[in-house]
Amino acid sequence: MKLKTKEKIYLLIFSIFLFLILFSIFCYYPLIKGFVDEAKELKKIESQLSFLDQKISQLKKAKAIEKEIKGNIQSFKSLFIQKEMPLDFINFLETTAKDCKVELELSRFSEISLKEEERESLLFEGKTKGDFVSTLCFLNKVENAPFLVEFNSVNLFKEKDQNEISSSFSLKVFVK
């Protein structure tokens, strides 16, 4: 079988074209496959980075919440007085009495044992003397004090010969 020159040229062009296609498939396929694998790896890394960014933002939020909670705990701790030396609370009572123009007499304070109460506290007993509005001002300020205070009893009575109101009170102040 003898091929004509024209057929030889077509066969040669076809074989060169086939060779180029096969060559490009065998040479470029691993390269393209590498690109695809690298793209998959890049997407995987991007998803990991996105996950880490979410975790970082959650940690930042948690730290902000932690700071807020620490501030709240600190302010909560300031509500309690020192068991050994309740001078801050006594000074508060005296200052409040002066501000409200009431005479204050603290008769005693004692510690309440843990068997009776869930939380340790000190029991203060005192008497005041002043006009009605001043006495109520004093009692209101003590009730809204920057300390954890609970009134056990408050007794108001009017002096017979005077326009003044006397009061006696018993209050529980929680300690650290």
> Within this chain, do residues 11 and 41 fall inside the same structural domain, yes or no?
yes
Q: Which helix (H) or strand (E) covers residue 158, if one does?
A: strand 149-158
CA proximity to 80, closest of 150, 154, 173: 173
> Within this chain, do residues 165 and 139 fall inside the same structural domain, yes or no?
yes
> Within this chain, do residues 64 and 132 fall inside the same structural domain, yes or no?
no
Domain extent, residue 102, equals 87-174
> Within this chain, do residues 98 and 134 fall inside the same structural domain, yes or no?
yes
> Within this chain, do residues 54 and 122 fall inside the same structural domain, yes or no?
no
**CA–CA separation, 119 and 6 (whole Å):** 110
As for how many domains the chain has, the answer is 2
> Within this chain, do residues 65 and 3 fall inside the same structural domain, yes or no?
yes
Q: What is the mean pLDDT of residues 36-62?
A: 94
102: CATH: 3.30.70.60
> Within this chain, do residues 57 and 128 fall inside the same structural domain, yes or no?
no
Inform me whether the pLDDT recorded for 117 exceeds 60: no
Q: What is the pLDDT of residue 62?
A: 92
Q: What is the mean pLDDT of residues 21-29?
A: 84
Q: What is the mean pLDDT of residues 13-20?
A: 92
Domain boundary (28, 46, 77) is at: 77
Its pTM surpasses 0.85: no
pLDDT level of residue 14 (50, 70, 90 thresholds)? very high
Q: What is the mean pLDDT of residues 52-70?
A: 92
Inform me whether the pLDDT recorded for 103 exceeds 80: yes
Report yes or no on 82 lying in a domain.
no
- Give strand ranges (E) for 3-145: 103-112, 121-130
